[in-house]
């Protein structure tokens, strides 16, 4: 009985030549993508920080006797987590971009992790949702 050859799946990484240089057009697209990504992180950080400042400034003036104050704490915590997550995402993106683009070679897979992305976006959405629930409850 002869043993048949075993077919192993070929990974995508084995098919891609990572040492091949990028064309100028591909390089410009990648560079613009990195810029847009960093701008996204900066804008989300700005929105979260402004939300914390507005809540702290106007909470007592708008709602003199608020109910469900716990939602304000959840909202502030969500925005604070968003600021930290976005700062980490931005720092990782800057380090990743600068190290790769200086060589003008093929860019490896992005290594910005899922934890700071989840913290940045998730914290922002939790902050907005809890602030909206607080406002709806106290305005009705």
46-61 pLDDT per residue, tens: 999 999 999 999 988 8
Average per-residue pLDDT in the chain? 80
Task: Please check whether residue 3 lies inside any domain of the structure.
Answer: no
Residue 105 is predicted with a pLDDT of: 47
Residue 18 has what DSSP assignment?
Answer: T
Count up the domains in the chain and report the number. 1
Q: Which DSSP string corresponds to 31-53?
A: HHHHHHHHHHHHHHHHHHHHHHH
Task: Please check whether residue 72 lies inside any domain of the structure.
Answer: yes
Residue 107 has what DSSP assignment?
Answer: -
Cβ atoms of residues 40 and 85 within 8 Å: no
Percentage of residues in the chain having pLDDT higher than 70: 73
Among the listed ranges 8-12, 52-56, 83-87, which one has the minimum average pLDDT value? 8-12
Place of tokens 């400042």: 53
Task: Please check whether residue 15 lies inside any domain of the structure.
Answer: no
Please state the pTM of the whole predicted model: 0.72
Give the domain extent around 54: 23-139
* Tokens coding 94: 């800057």
């Amino acid at each position: 009985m002869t043993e048949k050859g075993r077919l192993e799946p070929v990974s995508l990484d084995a098919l891609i030549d990572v040492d091949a240089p990028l064309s100028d057009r591909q390089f410009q697209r990648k560079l613009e993508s990195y810029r847009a990504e960093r701008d996204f992180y900066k804008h989300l950080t700005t929105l979260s920080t402004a939300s914390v400042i507005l809540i702290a400034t106007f909470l007592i003036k708008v709602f003199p006797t608020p109910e469900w104050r716990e939602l304000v704490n959840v909202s502030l915590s969500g925005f604070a987590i968003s600021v930290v997550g976005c700062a980490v995402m931005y720092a990782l993106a800057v380090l990743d971009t600068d190290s790769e683009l200086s060589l003008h070679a093929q860019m490896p897979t992005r290594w910005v992790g899922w934890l700071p992305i989840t913290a940045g976006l998730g914290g922002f959405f939790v902050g907005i949702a809890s602030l909206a629930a607080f406002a709806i409850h106290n305005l009705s």
